[in-house]
Amino acid sequence: MTNAQLKPTAAEGGVISRTPIAGTAGLQRIFKSSRFLSSVLLIALILFWEFGIRALKVPRFLVPPFSDVLKALWQGFSAAPLARDGFWFHSGITLVEVLLGFFIGSGVGLALGILISQVRVLEEVLRPYIVAFQSLPKVAIAPLIVMWLGYGISSKVAIVCLLTFFPVLITSITGFHAVDNDRIDLLRSLSATSWQIFTKAKFPSALPYVFAGLEMAAAFSVVGAIVGEFVGAQSGLGVLILQLDAQMDTGGSFAVFIILSLMGVGLSAGLRSVRRRVLDWMPEELSSRTINT
Partner 1 sequence: MVCDWITESLGWSKKQRWSDMTQLRETSSVGTKRDFIRIRGLSKYFGEGGQPGVQALADITCSIAEGSFVSVVGPSGCGKSTLMRIIAGLLDYSQGDVSVDGQPVHGTRRDIGVVFQSSILLPWRTILENVMLPAEVLGLDMRSSRKRALELLELVRLRGFEEKMPRQLSGGMQQRASIARALLHNPKVLLMDEPFGALDALTREQMNIELQRIWSESGKTVILITHSISEAIFLGDVVFVMTPRPGTLARTINVNLPRPRSLDLTGTPEFANASHEIRELFNHAGNLE
Q: Which of residues 142 and 197 has its CB atom nearest to partner 1 in the complex?
A: 197
Closer residue to partner 1 in complex, CB, 143/204: 204
Could you tell me the smallest distance in angstroms from the CB atom of residue 275 to partner 1? 13
H/E stretch holding 215: helix 203-231
CB atoms closer than 10 angstroms to residue 92: 15
Do 161 and 108 touch, CB atoms closer than 8 A? yes
Where residue 108 falls (left for φ over 0; alpha for ψ -120 to 50; beta otherwise) is alpha
d(CA 59, CA 65): 9
Contact 248, 102 (CB under 8 A): no
Angle at which helix 120-135 crosses helix 153-177, to 10 degrees, equals: 130
**Residue with smaller CB distance to partner 1, 34 or 191:** 191
- Please check whether residue 259 is in contact with residue 70, taking contact to mean a CB–CB distance below 8 angstroms: no
Instruction: Name the percent of the chain in helix, strand, coil, to the closest 5.
Output: 85, 0, 15
**Nearer to partner 1 among residue 60 and residue 183 (C-beta):** 183
Separation of CA 258 from chain center: 15
Given the complex with partner 1, which of 12 and 180 has the nearer CB atom? 180
Between 79 and 279, whose beta carbon lies closer to partner 1?
A: 279
Q: How far is the CB of 268 from partner 1 (least distance, A)?
A: 23
Binding site for partner 1 (CB under 8 A): 180, 182-183, 185-192, 196, 200-201, 204, 279, 281-282
| Shortest Å distance, C-beta 286 to partner 1 | 9
- The number of C-alpha atoms within 13 Å of 47 and in the hemisphere containing its C-beta is 6
- Least distance between partner 1 and beta carbon 206 (Å): 12
Q: How many CB atoms lie within 10 A of CB 105?
A: 27
Taking the complex as a whole, the smallest distance from the CB of residue 184 to partner 1 amounts, in Å, to: 10
Minimum CB distance to partner 1, residue 276 (Å): 13
| For partner 1, the closer CB: 12 or 185 | 185
Least distance CB 194 / partner 1 (angstroms): 12
